[in-house]
Structures are given as structure tokens and as C-alpha cells.
């Protein structure tokens, strides 16, 4: 049986869809961190799972590991441009999670209004409505 063509959503979930991966990325958005710092930022993650996630993110080009000690081998981890590109996704997921759980959604610091995300076309310099989206496949 032939496998259905992979969709952009499938590709994204294959990259960052397993447990803890987006948490690791979120912990690195503030800047480089060492392994112990990541463990503190992600309570409950087992060291072997954190190691697996870090290796996989590095293999996918979403983070860099730079050695700061040879004996024992120790690294500082930092997101690449590709990894930092997930910041918007994490903001949207956090907003959705806040709304689902009844927590406070993100607000505009200047006026206090709840923020909303919208598609925007930089060429046309205008918002794009859902009906105007072309070739966006989720399944």
C-alpha cells in the first residue's frame, strides 16, 4: 500500500511533535543553556529523554551544541535560526493553551487588550482571510 504524500503539518509534527521537544525549544528561546539549566527549566524530564531530544534537534539543524568541557564532555545548547523560527508557533500554542485552560491569554502591554493572531501577506501589505489561503494542507 502506497503511503500518502506527506503534508506540511506531517513534516512539522515529525520534527517537533514528540513530547518535550517544543519545551526544549521554548527553554532555549531566551538564549544558550547548559544541560543542567535545561533540566531545571523542564521539571519532570528524564536526563536520557533530554539527551535524545537535544541530539535530535541538533541533527535536524534546529540547535547547536558547543563543547565547553572535554573531560567530562559538556555542552552549551543554542537555537539556530531554524529553531528560533519556532518562536511564533510557540506563542500561538501558548495562546491556545491559555484559552483552553481558562488562563490569561497574552495581552498588549500598551492597552491591555487580548491579542489575536492573523495571517498577513507582506507583498500585499494586508491581512489574509481564511477563505483566501491557498494550498494550506493539514491532513
The predicted-structure confidence for 51-63, as pLDDT tens digits, reads as follows 999 999 999 999 9
- 34 has pLDDT over 60: yes
Helices (H) and strands (E) in the chain, counts: 6, 5
Cα–Cα distance, 34 to 76 (Å, whole number) = 4
pTM reported for the whole predicted model: 0.82
Question: Could you state, in order of their start, the residue ranges of all structural domains in the chain?
Answer: 8-84
Which fold, 8-84? Arc Repressor Mutant, subunit A (1.10.10)
Cα torsion through 68, 72, 78, 83, rounded to 10: 150
Q: What is the chain's mean pLDDT, rounded?
A: 90
75: helix, strand or coil:
strand
Amino acid at each position: 500500500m502506497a503511503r500518502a504524500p506527506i503534508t506540511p503539518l506531517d513534516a512539522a509534527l515529525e520534527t517537533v511533535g514528540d513530547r518535550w521537544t517544543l519545551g526544549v525549544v521554548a527553554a532555549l528561546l531566551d538564549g544558550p543553556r547548559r544541560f543542567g539549566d535545561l533540566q531545571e527549566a523542564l521539571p519532570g524530564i528524564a536526563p536520557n529523554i533530554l539527551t535524545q531530544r537535544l541530539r535530535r534537534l541538533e541533527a535536524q539543524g534546529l540547535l547547536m551544541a558547543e563543547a565547553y568541557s572535554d573531560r567530562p564532555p559538556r555542552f552549551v545548547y543554542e537555537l539556530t535560526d531554524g529553531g528560533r523560527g519556532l518562536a511564533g508557533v510557540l506563542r500561538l500554542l501558548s495562546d491556545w493553551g491559555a484559552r483552553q485552560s481558562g488562563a490569561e491569554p497574552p495581552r498588549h502591554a500598551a492597552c491591555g487588550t487580548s491579542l489575536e493572531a492573523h495571517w498577513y501577506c507582506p507583498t500585499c501589505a494586508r491581512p489574509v482571510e481564511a477563505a483566501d489561503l491557498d494550498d494550506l494542507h493539514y491532513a
